[in-house]
A = this chain, B = another copy of it.
């Protein structure tokens, strides 16, 4: 409509000022704009057409790169998961203590922190009915890598005789259920019912995580707090 149609495709340098008939990088930009829409307006604000609008292309253009909306959302989830995973890896790398349970706690904190700061992105990677999780090698791999790290830490904890329960797989599911539940309670808006003010959510989550981890270890009470 309003926009001129400069018939030059190239020159899409960093400036990205001049739209051309061929966008040059539409696929990635659609994912980026969808992430922005999610961040700013929640899941309901994410539509194929809105992403196309932001990218400056026609409503039909996205379907050249994604057969349907679910495939686009899967690509969005892949990028979100990449960031999620990177932040967890960073937190683990920054945890100096080598106590495996403390390292697991550090993962949990990073998990919760990311979810709190990126609620809609967390929602996107979590609702595996709205994305093709099984069809995405990247999603499966990154998810498995997080699980593998916790698994290794639990094995080490068991070898050090820290664990009260022998079924490590069960512990792992319980741990995931706890942090997932906390993150979901946040995303789904449950904390107001629990008299937890917004400012206290971070601290409450941390304390709940500590309570849970304490329940896993054998005897030694945690030194601090």
A residues near B (Cβ < 8 Å) are 42, 126-129, 133-134, 140, 143-144, 147, 164-165, 167, 170-171, 173-174, 176-182, 184-185, 188-190, 192-194, 196, 204, 207-208, 211-212, 214-216
Contacts and interface: CB of A to CB of B under 8 A. Distances in A.
A173 B143 contact: no
Contacts of A170: 204, 207-208, 211
A210 to B, nearest CB: 9
A216 B179 CA distance: 17
Interface centre among A143, A179, A194, by most chain B C-beta atoms within 10 angstroms, is: A194
A206 to B, nearest CB: 11
Taking chain A's interface residues, is the majority helix, strand, or loop, or is none over half, making it mixed?
helix
Given A143-B193, A208-B174, A215-B215, A127 B188 contact: yes
A93 to B, nearest CB: 24
Contact of A173 (B147, B180, B192, B204): B204
Contact of A174 (B171, B173, B211): B211
Contacts of A147: 193
Given A42-B129, A170-B211, A185 B194 contact: no
Nearest to A42: B129
Contacts of A207: 167, 170
A186 to B, nearest CB: 10
Contacts of A214: 164-165, 215
Nearest to A183: B181
A167 B210 CA distance: 12
10 contacts: A42-B129, A143-B193, A144-B193, A164-B214, A165-B214, A167-B211, A176-B185, A176-B190, A177-B182, A180-B190
Nearest to A204: B173
Given A167-B211, A173-B204, A178-B212, 4 more contacts: A126-B188, A174-B211, A176-B194, A181-B182
A35 B1 CA distance: 44
A128 B190 contact: yes
A147 B190 CA distance: 13
A177 B185 contact: yes
A216 B182 CA distance: 18
